[in-house]
Amino acid sequence: MVYKESLSRRAFHVVNVIVLSAITLMGFLPFVHLLAVSLSSNTYASAGEVTLWPKGFTTNAYQYMSENAAFFESLVVSLKRVAIGTVVNMLLVVMTAYPLSKENAKFQFRTVYVWFFAITMFFGGGLIPTYIVVKETGLLDSIWALVLPGALNVWYTVMLLNFFRSVPKDLEEAAIIDGAGHWSLIWRVYLPISIPAIATVLLFTVVGHWNSWFDGILYMNSPSNYPLQSYLSTLITAINVQIISVDSLAALQDLGEKTLRTAQIFMGALPIMIVYPFLQKYFVKGIVVGSVKE
Amino acid sequence: MTRKTISGLAAAMMLSTTILLAACSSNDKEEQASQPPASTQASGESPSASGGAPAETPAADPLGKYEEPITVTQVMGFNPPQDSKTPKGLTPEKNAYVSKLKEMLNIDLKYLWTVPSEQFDQKFALAVSSGDLPDVMSLKLLDFESFRQQDQLADLTEAYEKYASPTLKKYLESDGGRTLKMFTYDGKLLGLPSYEDPFMSSQILWIRQDWLDKLQLQPPTTLEELEQVAEAFVKNDPDGNNKNDTYGISMNKELISWGFDARGLFYTMGAYPKAWTKGSDGKLIPGEIQPETKAALEKMNDWYKKGILDKEFAFKDINKAVEDVVAGKVGITFGEWWDPEWPLNLSKEKDPKAEWKPFPLPSYNGNPGLTLVPGLRLNWVVTANKKMEHPEAVVKMANFYHEMWLPKYQEENKPENGYVYNWYEPRIYNPLNIDDLYTRVNAALKANQDTIDAENPEAPQLFANAKKFLSGDPDTTAWGFYNSRVKEDGGWGLTRKIKEEKKFVYNEFYGTPTPTQVERGSSLDKLTDETYLKIIMGSGKTDEFDKYADSWKKLGGDEIAEEVNAWYAERQ
């Protein structure tokens, strides 16, 4: 079949490609720039002359980072945090969202709980009370201080419970007739059908844990317990101060503060950039993967 | 790189260099009177009386060892070790200073927590609010003030008198006891201030001599000449690339910050915005609303139109301004003595022909340009918690730090042995260290020495760099150090001259922010910054400044002036 596109449709396609390419470039070029700066010599980087291609190519910044034990120590902390944090968060979110997605008839105090959770979304204790709670519960300086205080994300819970509600009731009834209890319902009916929503929440959680740096600095009493981003943020800001002694000034001549900073930002963002495409496909699949035809 | 970081950098550059060592240098012009800070004990409730037994002996040993080990708690904000020879994986807890302190004084130093310096303020605020205070604290002025008002600080009078080593006394009283007196309240010394030579803040003018030579111009001595030079730098293609890509004077959107800004220009014209100078009636006046400031802004407006100031300066932060300096787009910048160490060294590296030279602020209307100098340049105040059992340990710990720099420990006290000096607190620096280094290194160079005595631990490195530069080595690090710290008409040399020739005025207000400043200060500053930018960039009318001055006063400025003058009257 020969399908002839109208002129306006072809024009639309052209504009579409141009606009989308422009948007893609806007997201992509900054990373290319970061990479280029991190691979350039300090002089060119400080003169602001590096755009998309390294000038005075050098890998000093990456060598410095790879020789630095603290970088890998904190990488381990970060991986541990993402692993533990994601499992705990996902479990809690699913377990909370499931009952709250039921109607009032099935779960009497549902509204009370929903309000209870909703309030925490808008009102928090603030920095100091939260810190004191973490301190008094003895979590300071342990990985749990990074995982537990934000373990139940109400926003994700609401997202998920709305998704659960959109699952056709017939499916649940069919499973109940087949003898399923609530556990089987969660694990064998709701979860498999909610993969797009779960994947979204999962990605947010992973990214959230990976990028979070402030709580590490807050709750950890010594930098050896810092997750990667906390460690990076300290290096990024502290490196300037090194300029002060004769020796470090010499070192900074070929390893600039700017190149090191960009190298670290790039390394810090890399894992997420790798993970993202694999989860991405779930978002585009559309929301309900239907199994019941009405 | 945030603004805060950079100002930290600037401060730290000086700070690091502000180290130690006794041995009075020959030309210390400062009065060396050792006047004890607090004459008498006004009240008998000195907490130090309850301190250790050694407090009873009259001629106490500044480094006396405790018979039983005592534990002293601290918290610390730290930076990575500066020396690349420091063993990897070393933490502040394992710092060799800490074990040596235990060995020498029997003091167990314990850190409740350590955190990178950038995050210190936040973490410390949390610790304060959760009631977890360590024994020894190096406080910023604002924290010191609130702790003092809450009566949380131990009286160190007796401890200081009995235990302070001659070195510590010399440093703390190097200004005749003026600063120490500031921290004495009702006869009680509440803190040991680690302060610096205020002249480190002097503004000077850095100009590219190679551009002057190329265009056959003389270094400017008056503002008019500076304008001519700057115009030539804009129009006559000083970099010889046949492109119209240079401008005259470096600027960034923060007119009053820590470098590559407009402060020097304001000061040249006798304007001191965001500072308090003494007026003709003896009262302190706010610089931001004075007629001199108006004239300076009008001058800048004129220069902006002529292209002397970068047309895009309002969009450039300090980083961007520095980029222009390094890239060779600008040949004049107002700055401080240390500019050659950063970023002028990078400019030199980029373009070996670049030859930056410092000049004093030009004169204006026949009056010499007077730079502003802070009344007090304070890093921190070392204090003891009132609950601390042995407050005299604070003084001993400060003594210990100076002791460790003596030549007899020189072999041991090295980064490769795990000694990281900037990880040890409390540190009290020699306020006149930069000057001391300058004198020592220059004396050694004149005497044609091959080596320099190691009494000032920074001297050998600086001496080696100076030698390297003088032997014609193109290393830009050596160039930077020589031009900032050693050369007689370099950064510090010129700063000394400014001090000797009294070409400065003091910023007379150096107290903690007044109540109205706390409440309104930031919005007034915002008003100031916005108005100034508007005037310079020429969108405003001529009476804009007067309207601004009016609203500045009405919106809290008048109250602030009253409070500041009340503070000033009290200090007299």
Among B90, B93, B106, B79, which Cα is nearest to B16's? B79
Interchain contact, B1 vs A49, CB within 8 Å: no
Task: Give yes or no: residues A104 and A39 share one domain.
Answer: no
What does the pLDDT average to over B190-208? 93
pLDDT band for A69, please (50, 70, 90 cuts): confident
Q: How far apart are CA B491 and CA B339, in angstroms?
A: 8
Domain stop point among A10, A39, A57: A57
Query: Domain containing A12: what range?
Result: 1-57
Which candidate in A245, A258, A259, A262 is best for mutational testing of the B interface (most B CBs within 10 A)? A245
Interchain contact, A238 vs B116, CB within 8 Å: yes
* Among B12, B322, B476, beta carbon nearest to A244: B12
| pLDDT tens per residue across span B475-530 | 888 999 999 999 999 999 999 999 999 999 999 999 888 999 999 999 999 999 99
Which candidate in B90, B91, B118 is best for mutational testing of the A interface (most A CBs within 10 A)? B118
Task: Give yes or no: residues A143 and A32 share one domain.
Answer: no
A and B: number of Cβ contacts within 8 A? 137
Domain stop point among A26, A57, A88: A57
What pLDDT, on a 0 to 100 scale, did the predictor assign at position B545? 93
What pLDDT, on a 0 to 100 scale, did the predictor assign at position B224? 96
**Chain A residue at shortest CA distance from B16:** A244
- The dotted CATH code for B70-195+377-417 is 3.40.190.10
**Chain A residue at shortest CA distance from B130:** A132
**Chain A residue at shortest CA distance from B475:** A250
Interchain contact, A241 vs B476, CB within 8 Å: no
Task: Give yes or no: residues A5 and A102 share one domain.
Answer: no
Q: How far apart are CA B60 and CA B507, in angstroms?
A: 39
Residue A141 sits in a domain whose CATH number is: 1.10.3720.10
Interchain contact, A247 vs B84, CB within 8 Å: yes
Interchain contact, A257 vs B6, CB within 8 Å: no
Q: Name which of B28-37, B173-182, B329-338, B426-435 the model is least confident about.
A: B28-37
Q: How far apart are CA B195 and CA B380, in angstroms?
A: 7
Phi, psi of A116 (to 5 degrees): -55, -45
Q: Are B334 and B262 in contact (CB under 8 A)?
A: yes
Residues of A in contact with B129 (CB under 8 A): 128, 131-132
Task: Give yes or no: residues A224 and A286 share one domain.
Answer: yes
Chain A nearest CA to B477, separation (Å): 6
pLDDT band for B40, please (50, 70, 90 cuts): very low
Chain B nearest CA to A144, separation (Å): 18
Q: A137 CB near a chain B CB, below 8 Å?
A: no
Overall domain count for chain A: 2
* Among A47, A233, A238, beta carbon nearest to B79: A238
Task: Give yes or no: residues A31 and A167 share one domain.
Answer: no
Interchain contact, A47 vs B13, CB within 8 Å: no
What does the pLDDT average to over B278-283? 92
Query: Looking at per-residue confidence, does B23 or B295 come out higher?
Result: B295
Chain A nearest CA to B79, separation (Å): 6
Q: Name which of A248-252, A273-277, B240-244, B498-502 the model is least confident about.
A: A248-252
Q: Name which of B201-205, B229-233, B365-369, B410-414 the model is least confident about.
A: B410-414
Interchain contact, A234 vs B116, CB within 8 Å: yes
What pLDDT, on a 0 to 100 scale, did the predictor assign at position B410? 81
Alpha carbon A75 to its chain's center: 15
Chain A nearest CA to B290, separation (Å): 36
Task: Give yes or no: residues A200 and A281 share one domain.
Answer: yes
Mean pLDDT, chain B, rounded, equals: 86
CATH topology (fold) of B204-360+502-570: D-Maltodextrin-Binding Protein; domain 2 (3.40.190)
What pLDDT, on a 0 to 100 scale, did the predictor assign at position A44? 86
Q: A126 CB near a chain B CB, below 8 Å?
A: no
Burial annotation B87-104 (CB, 10 A radius, 16+ → b, else e): eeebebeebbbbebbeee
What does the pLDDT average to over A202-212? 89
Interchain contact, A245 vs B16, CB within 8 Å: yes
Distances from the Cα of B284 to the Cα of A53, B7, B481, angstroms: 55, 26, 38
Interchain contact, A69 vs B89, CB within 8 Å: yes
Statement: residue A61 has pLDDT above 60? yes
Task: Give yes or no: residues A195 and A172 share one domain.
Answer: yes
Pairing of β B371-374 and β B70-78: unpaired
Task: Give yes or no: residues A105 and A44 share one domain.
Answer: no
Residues of B in contact with A70 (CB under 8 A): 89
What pLDDT, on a 0 to 100 scale, did the predictor assign at position A268? 80
B195: its two tokens:
């302060």
Give the number of other CB atoms < 10 A from CB of residue B520: 17
Task: Give yes or no: residues A53 and A73 share one domain.
Answer: no
| pLDDT tens per residue across span A80-129 | 999 999 999 999 999 999 999 888 888 888 889 888 888 888 888 888 88
Interchain contact, A243 vs B13, CB within 8 Å: yes
What pLDDT, on a 0 to 100 scale, did the predictor assign at position B488? 95
Task: Give yes or no: residues A182 and A233 share one domain.
Answer: yes
Domain ranges of chain B: 70-195+377-417, 204-360+502-570
Whether omega before B426 lies within 30 degrees of 0, making that bond cis, reads: yes
Task: Give yes or no: residues A161 and A243 share one domain.
Answer: yes
| A residues 234-253 closer than 8 Å to B (CB) | 234-235, 237-251, 253
What pLDDT, on a 0 to 100 scale, did the predictor assign at position A196? 83
Task: Give yes or no: residues A9 and A53 share one domain.
Answer: yes
Query: Looking at per-residue confidence, does A262 or B51 come out higher?
Result: A262
